[in-house]
Amino acid sequence: MKMDLPRPVRVSLATVLALFALVRVNYGRYPQDDKSAGQTEKRPWMNTSLSPDERADLVVKEMTLDEKIDLLHGNGMPGWGKPRPTAYLGNGGAGFVLGVPRLGIPIIQMSDAAYGVRSSAENGRYSTALPSNLGSAASWDPVAACEYGTLVGRELRAQGYNMTLGGGVNLTREPRNGRTFEYMGEDPILAGTLVGNRVKCEQAQQVIGDIKHYAVNDQESGRNEVSAVISRRAMRETDLLAFQIGIEIAKPGAVMCSYNAVNGEFACENKYLLTDVLKKEWNFKGFVVSDWAGTHSTVKASAAGLDHEEPFDHFYGAQFKEAVQSGKIPLAELDDHVHRILRSEFAAGIVDNPVKKSVVDAEAGLETSRKIAEQSIVLLKNGPGVLPLDPAKIHSIAVIGPHADTSMISGGGSAQVDPPGRPAPRWLEHVWFPTSPSKAVTTAAPGADVQFDSGTNRESAVALAKKSEVAIVFVYQWTSEGMDLPNLSLPENQDVLIEQVAAANPKTIVVLETGTAVTMPWLDKVAGVVEAWYAGSKGHEAVANILFGRVNPTAKLPMTFPRSEADLPHPNLVTPPPGVGDHGPEGNERGAKPAFEVHYDEGLKVGYKWYDAENKKPLFPFGYGLSYTTYAYSDLKLKPGKETTVTFTVKNTGSRSGAEIAQVYAAFPPNADEPPKRLVAWSKVRLNPGESKQVSLTIDPQFLNVYDENASAWKLVPGSYTFLVGASSQDLPLQQKVTLQ
């Protein structure tokens, strides 16, 4: 076959020199910062004894208008639109922000890091996948949340990133939300406390932390077009309270505003949310960054409090510069945006300690992931003599379920961590992490005959179950950003598979790999149920350790599991009307308005508060989780005052060491017009067999306040309060009244 070879291209010496000069100019824009002696005199903002605010002010005074504008927007991201001329400066993550090299201000390199560092470059192959945020929330443990954030922050820096985009804290108001696995459950006090500790510890690794998606971004359906309609009181006591608590604890460098509108105004140009509440009332010092292509305007968004547009410069590039030059945007407003971004850089330490790539400590990451997974797995059902399994007494085990021989499912979208040993996943691809449950079961029970069946052919799965002493069925539910679930049923007829296996083997144990709650029509027919969530890089080992009793389960549900969708506040998911799409991948139309509404008329009644108020019995209540030991509660005492103290005793009445998550709820006076009760405190109490401990918890006064819309303020409603203590929102054996003034 004759081949036409390309002709050599002749390039003049002048052209070569010009190209070389261009490369030198572009590369020279971002040299390593000069650390020579005397730089503090030349650059007084490098004086680390100054506050982040003072240092930011000094830099702002030295910046040109173009340098300021460069800080207000991103420069694209891989796979989204045409690469920009500056694309070579990116690190393969979600985006980057040009620095000011002549002033020693570095590039901000961002990565999505919901449950591990995501990167579209080669870096991502070394990331640890932690359990999902929803899973880690089941630990109810601020220490575990801190360990989670520390690992993510450390791996971010090792991979060349100095900003995380992973602190999701939207409440589980709509459990079919495809991003439920990215968040911390349905209670604002629990969710806010955990995300705050996570982000605080991320930032301790010298990365800029982020809390998102602000606010009321509680569904994915029509997320670019929907307006969440909700009263201010309901919003302040639910969704916004989670943000408030998280921001108070973490003091994050950034807050990401969401795609949706709230009460008719898009979140990224909503003055009430961004300025009145976030920046003024909460005294937030960091910067507000838009969700990707979530900006709708220039002048309006800037005045409302949006500081930075991602991932492009549609509104915060040339249009912003023109608006400043024409006087439509005051120079002081521009300088405030720039100050906030610089302040966050100084506060996080990314100016004084520029990020340098290093080898990711994969072994340490895997160990942390396993330990957190073990604290996250919830034992939902345990028949007599079923769990833990005794490897010395079991001779045959059937491991059944899709991929249970090789892998476990993970959550999708921008949160998706790249699995090792394969190319970066495509958008909305089902990604299975190479963590083999059957291998882990075989290792845990070396004397047993462990056989696998995928369940694709239910007849063969049933035959295997029938001849085995124990059948462990691994089932999954995949969820992702950009979608909501049509229902809470397991997909692909897995309910039928479970029922048929359970009919063949009375010792059937179901392991759920899910991103949210699922309905369980087969619950009464199985011997045990374990909720493993998306369990991360070492999920298989964590599950096996729970099943075989190497680890005593301690986790409790951070969300309610309903019996059916009919019991939800919105039995039918509110979706966009026909013909309504989003604003497109290259940014939203100027002046665009939300196209439909979802009315959160349930108001304060989110999660367990809805089930309490409506007298609906859930499948599994908020705060529920079993152990291989038992606990007893006694001796409740209350000490009212400015800070009410609740004291009680917990005793381990079983034969195994364990840790009980003791929960305290408060029922408000009738005239407070609150749901029946509210979680106000909890403690993880570690106990040996027969051991008792007295627990004393001081209630944060904020957690006993209600929001007064008329006064735009929080207040305590004087009257009789009942404090309830126990193992879950539905198991509260200790109750006592007290008058609070």
Cα torsion 82, 88, 94, 100: sign: negative
Cβ atoms of residues 393 and 368 within 8 Å: no
| DSSP for residue 104 | T
The Cα–Cα gap between 88 and 595 comes to: 38
Q: Give the Cα-Cα-Cα angle 674, 675, 676 (nearest 5 degrees).
A: 115
Residue 692, beta-bridge partner list: 651
Per-residue buried b or exposed e for 529-550, using 16+ beta carbons within 10 Å of the residue's own CB: bbbbbbbbbbbbbbbbbbbbbe
Structure tokens at 188: 């604002």
Tell me, what amino acid is at 91?
Answer: N
User: How many CA within 13 A on the CB side of residue 317?
Assistant: 12
Beta-strand pair 631-639/645-652: antiparallel
Run of H or E including 437: helix 437-444
Indicate the pairing of strand 167-168 with strand 631-639: unpaired
Q: What is the dihedral of CA 492, 219, 134, 295, to 10 degrees?
A: 130
Contact 560, 607 (CB under 8 A): yes
Please identify which of the residues 291, 313, 453, 612 carries the catalytic annotation: 291
Q: Are 190 and 133 in contact (CB under 8 A)?
A: no
State the DSSP string of 11-38: --HHHHHHHHHHHHHHHHTSPPPP--TT
What 3-state DSSP class applies to 490?
A: coil
Contact 465/471 with Cβ under 8 angstroms?
yes
DSSP 124: G
84's CB contacts (< 8 A; 6+ apart) are 75, 76
Sheet with 108-111, edge to edge strand ranges: 95-97, 108-111, 163-164
User: Is 291 labeled as catalytic in the residue annotation?
Assistant: yes
Q: Is 156 within 8 Å of 164 (Cβ atoms)? A: yes
What spatial distance separates the first Cα and last Cα of the chain, rounded to whole Å? 94
Quote the Cα angle for 165-264-71, to 5°.
35
Q: How far apart are CA 217 and CA 206, in angstroms?
A: 28
> How far is residue 254's CA from residue 241's CA, in Å, rounded to a whole number?
17
Close Cβ partners of 7 (under 8 Å, ≥ 6 residues apart): none
C-alpha dihedral over 187, 188, 191, 195, to 10 degrees? 170
What residues are labeled active site? Answer: 291
